[in-house]
Each structure stands twice: as C-alpha cells, then as structure tokens.
Amino acid sequence: MKFTNLIKFLLATLIIFASNNAIAKTIKWSMQGDSLTLDPHAQNEGPTTQVSRQIYEALVTRGLDMSIGPQLATKWKAVDPNTWYFYLRDDVKFSNGQKMTSEDVVFSILRAKQPTSDFKEYISTISSVKAIDDYTVQIKTSKPNPILLNQLSNIFVMSKQWATDNFAIAPQNWDAGQETFSATNAMGTGPFKITLREPNTKTVFKKNGKWWGNVEHNITEIQLLPIKNAATRVAALLSGEIDIVTDAPVQDLARISSSGGHKVESTPQMRTIFLGMDQAADKLRTGNTGDNPFKKKEVRQALYQAIDIEAIKKKVMRGLSEPAGIITFPGVTGYTKALDKRLPYDVDAAKKLLADAGYPDGFDVELRCPNDRYVNDEAICTAVVGMLGKIGVNVSLFAQTKSKHFKELKDNQGDFYMLGWGVPTLDSHYVFHYLYESGASWNKVNFSDSDVDAAIRVMEGEVDLDKRNAAIAKAWKIVRDNIAYLPLHHQVISWASKSNVDVPIRPNNEPLFRFSRVN
C-alpha cells in the first residue's frame, strides 16, 4: 500500500508542476544586440533603454500611441515658467518591497546629472530638484523649458537606498569601461524585474508581483536572448525557439509571414541613419593626403551626391527605408518635407566637385561601421564603399560590434563613421543638442557654428512657439546647407513574432511588455 501511495504522491506532484508550466506564459525575445548596461543612466542607446524600460519607470512616459502620460507622477503643474511641481503616486513600491518616495526621484534626477551619466545633456536645463514632502517634487529649470516632460520621460527612477547599499550612487562610467553592481543588476518599480543577467547571452525578466499598475499583460517571464547572426535569428524564430524578433531582417520578411504560424508587422521607425565626417581634424587619421579633405564643403557634397540612396533602398533595404535629407523624421517638431529632400544622385557632379576641391584623384579614408546595431548596417557601408569608389574615393571598411564602435567614436577615433539617431523627445532640439552643438557629446564630426549654437539656446528657453519654430527652421537650414553630416535614410522596422504572441509595435522600436499578451 505504501508503494502505491508514493506513486500517487509522485503523480500528483507531476500534475501540479505540469499544469503550472502550462499557465506560465513566457516570451522569448531576440534581437541582434544586447543592452549595453543595466545602469539606467549610463548609456543613452536604443536596446539599453528597451531593456531598462521594462524594469524602471519615469515620472511621465509615452504610451502605446507615443503621447506623454502620467507614470510615477499622477499630475504636474508649472507655477511659473521655471518652477514645476510633480505629485507622485503614493502606492508605488520597488520590486524589493520598499516604498518609493520623492527622495528617490530627487536622487535619480541628480544621479542622471552627474558627469558619468549619458543623460546629463537631456536634462541640462534642470537647475535644482527638491522634495517638498514625501510625494511632491519641485523641479526648477534655469530657463523656460518647453520640452521638460519629453526629457523626463527618459529619466528612470531608482531606489536611493538600493543605490547607496550597492555602491551605485554615481552612474557607471561606461566610456571608461567601469564595472559596477548597477551595470549587471537592476531594481526598479516597473512591471518586471530581472532575475538573471548574462550579458550578450541571456537576460531573464520575471513579473514583478509588487507592481502598482493595473496588470494588462499575462506574461510571467520574458527571456531576452540576443542572436547576432540574422539567419540564425530567423531560424530560431521559425523553429519556435524564439517568440518575437524586434529587428527581423528585411530579406526574410516574406519567408516569415508565409510560414503560417508567424506574423510580421512594420512601421516607420523614429531613427535616421547617417554618415559623419570629421571636419575639424587637421589631418585624417586614416587618410593619405596629409590634410583633411572633409574640411571642404565641396568634398562633403561630392560624397553626398555619389551615394545612390535609391539603390540602397531597393537592394539592401528591400524597399523598407525612406531616403532622408535631414537627421530627423516626420512627427518631430521642426520636420518638414522640403528639408527632407535629398540632393540629387549625380556621379559626374560629384567627380567635378572633388576635382574643384583639389582632389581629382580622390583620397583614402576608413569608414567605421557597427555590424550589429542598425538594419543591415554593414551591408549599407559595403554599398557606400563601392559607390564612393566610383568617384575615386578609396574607402576601406572597418565594421565591428556596436559596443566597440560607440566606445571608439566617443574616444574620437573616427574620421568617417556610421551612426543612427532616434529622437525620443520628438523635438528637433534633441538632435541639435547631441549632434550639432559645438562640443556636444555625440558631435564627433566636430561641427561648430555660432548661429546654430544661438538657435539651440532659443529652442531651450523660448516659450513663444512661433519664435521657437523659426529658430529650429533656421538651424536646420544652416546644417543642411553646410552638409554637416551625410543623411542616408529613415529606418523602417519590422517585428516578427509567433501568431499567438501579441506585442504592440511602436515606432521607437521599444516593446512595452506590460501591454503584451500570449494567447
């Protein structure tokens, strides 16, 4: 009898475990690269924010429709143009059970302003933050800031206590290669928490049972499994090993959607791909002429006109791109169709411009490229190398993984490089502030123009929208006429998933798993 009892017991346990597994809803998510760090203020980069967004929350946030709405703050008001009050939710707990108060918000904003933060330019206009009471925060700006809410939607709130306990008071110094506790661990107020972190291999998110919000999702676990090789990623999706790919390779979309059990969604992404040319260096690091040809506008224009963007669109991007004339896209304040028009593709004109500039035989230069960041990034660069070869510019391609690419760019090692830029604030100011302002952190072409700098100051402080828009339009005209960068195209992103996995696609390529369902 005892033996049969044991059997019964074992069977019962088996059934309980089996049914538990059937209820557990896991989403296996894959993309070509991984988050660079879990520290929410150390790197301002797409996939890094995509991961942080599931764990951390901000005062305000963009919903599925990309409009700004409340998150940790329920309401806010500006008592005068420079003073804002944010009223926080009083029911928010971190995933370790600790209550979130205004102390944590003040700590996080000040943390994001520290020198090692990659978000310090984001909120450079904030001059002071202080806690009025447990659930009220006062923020003062140095001048009227019309886009403060946009900026705050990307400043994640961490626990002051947790950061102090784990020696993470200052953001990880990512540029210097520092390793910190906060880079491999995360503890936020968001709908998910991280239970396992193996960089570039596997990250496991579990549902945060203490989350304050109304649970709309039915997911118990998310696994992020980056797969660098495009074909392997698609194979993993088709074989059922992966549930969703948020950067499905353009060449495989037809194959995936024809497979029955899978679906593909596409949307224009809020990201523009462009090439930068260092215009300040006296001598190119990888050149052969002993000077810097990029200093001359004719040379930059020659390179621009030598690029057959329609061929890239048709052959490399399979139609899923929108040729760009400026580094911003429809939906951003300051974008117009007229600005976005490209200079015509004209090889003869390009050759003539090069000859006029004093380089009839072209020159040598190295093009730096990431190979796991943007849609078909390396293939675009290879195509550009061929096109520039036709006008005599002998380009050697150096493609490497994104973490090295970005780090070496920040280290000022690039003469000629590829970069993509999204605009999370949906305002032109963000682009100018990072890419065009003299000495800005991502202005690696070392573009500098006092009129543009003055216009940026107007964008930051002007509350009269007409005047502000005039300043934006003027700045775009200057940088466009100067050919400070070579714009290529606006990316179109495609997500491919199993038919029963429902993750709403968003133009900033950021999945919000709190709205996702597995049926």
8 A C-beta contact, residue 366 and residue 276:
no
Residue 397 in contact with another protein, rule: CB under 8 A: yes
Given the structure tokens 């004209």, which residue do they identify?
346
Sole window of 226-234, 327-335, 441-449, 474-482 interacting with another protein (rule: CB under 8 A): 226-234
Instruction: Report in angstroms how near the CB of residue 25 gets to another protein at its nearest.
Output: 27
107 class by beta-carbon count within 10 Å (0-12 exposed, 13-18 middle, 19+ buried): buried
Identify which of residues 63 and 389 has a Cβ nearer to another protein in the complex. 389
Q: Taking Cα atoms as reference points, which of 254, 349, 257, 367 lies closest to residue 304?
A: 349
Binds another protein (CB under 8 A): choice among 195, 396, 438, 499:
396
Sole window of 62-70, 248-256, 456-464, 499-507 interacting with another protein (rule: CB under 8 A): 248-256
Residue 390 in contact with another protein, rule: CB under 8 A: yes
CB atoms within 10 A of CB 22: 8
The rounded distance, in Å, linking the Cα atoms of 131 and 125 is 18
Count residues binding another protein (CB under 8 A).
Answer: 32
- Positions in 329-388 near another protein (CB under 8 A): 379, 382-383, 385-388
Got the DSSP string for 466-509? HHHHHHHHHHHHHHHHHT-EEEEEEEEEEEEEETTEE----TT-
Instruction: Report in angstroms how near the CB of residue 396 gets to another protein at its nearest.
Output: 7
Given the structure tokens 């100051």, which residue do they identify?
457
Residues 6+ apart with CB under 8 A from 165: none
Instruction: Report in angstroms how near the CB of residue 245 gets to another protein at its nearest.
Output: 12
Instruction: Report in angstroms how near the CB of residue 388 gets to another protein at its nearest.
Output: 8
The rounded distance, in Å, linking the Cα atoms of 310 and 315 is 8
Instruction: Report in angstroms how near the CB of residue 497 gets to another protein at its nearest.
Output: 16
Instruction: Report in angstroms how near the CB of residue 322 gets to another protein at its nearest.
Output: 18
Instruction: Report in angstroms how near the CB of residue 133 gets to another protein at its nearest.
Output: 56
Instruction: Report in angstroms how near the CB of residue 311 gets to another protein at its nearest.
Output: 4
CA angle 44, 309, 230 (to 5 degrees): 55
The rounded distance, in Å, linking the Cα atoms of 416 and 68 is 36
8 A C-beta contact, residue 248 and residue 494:
yes
Instruction: Report in angstroms how near the CB of residue 200 gets to another protein at its nearest.
Output: 15
8 A C-beta contact, residue 137 and residue 72:
no
Sole window of 7-15, 194-202, 203-211, 230-238 interacting with another protein (rule: CB under 8 A): 230-238
| 3-state SS string for 120-131 | CCCCCCEEEEEE
8 A C-beta contact, residue 276 and residue 444:
yes
Binds another protein (CB under 8 A): choice among 230, 244, 302, 456:
230
Identify which of residues 358 and 389 has a Cβ nearer to another protein in the complex. 389
8 A C-beta contact, residue 502 and residue 263:
no
Instruction: Report in angstroms how near the CB of residue 326 gets to another protein at its nearest.
Output: 24
Instruction: Report in angstroms how near the CB of residue 231 gets to another protein at its nearest.
Output: 5
String marking each residue 301-320 x if it binds another protein according to CB under 8 A: -------x--xx-xxx----
Sole window of 23-31, 180-188, 247-255, 287-295 interacting with another protein (rule: CB under 8 A): 247-255
Identify which of residues 60 and 395 has a Cβ nearer to another protein in the complex. 395
Q: Taking Cα atoms as reference points, which of 88, 510, 498 lies closest to residue 262?
A: 498
Residue 238 in contact with another protein, rule: CB under 8 A: yes
Residue 234 in contact with another protein, rule: CB under 8 A: yes
The rounded distance, in Å, linking the Cα atoms of 114 and 41 is 9
The rounded distance, in Å, linking the Cα atoms of 260 and 238 is 10
Got the DSSP string for 390-404? TTT-EEEEEEE-HHH
String marking each residue 251-290 x if it binds another protein according to CB under 8 A: xx-xxx----------------------------------
Q: Which two tokens stand for residue 176?
A: 């210097």
Identify which of residues 182 and 403 has a Cβ nearer to another protein in the complex. 403
> Binding residues for another protein, per CB under 8 A?
229-231, 234-235, 238, 249, 251-252, 254-256, 308, 311-312, 314-316, 379, 382-383, 385-390, 392, 395-398
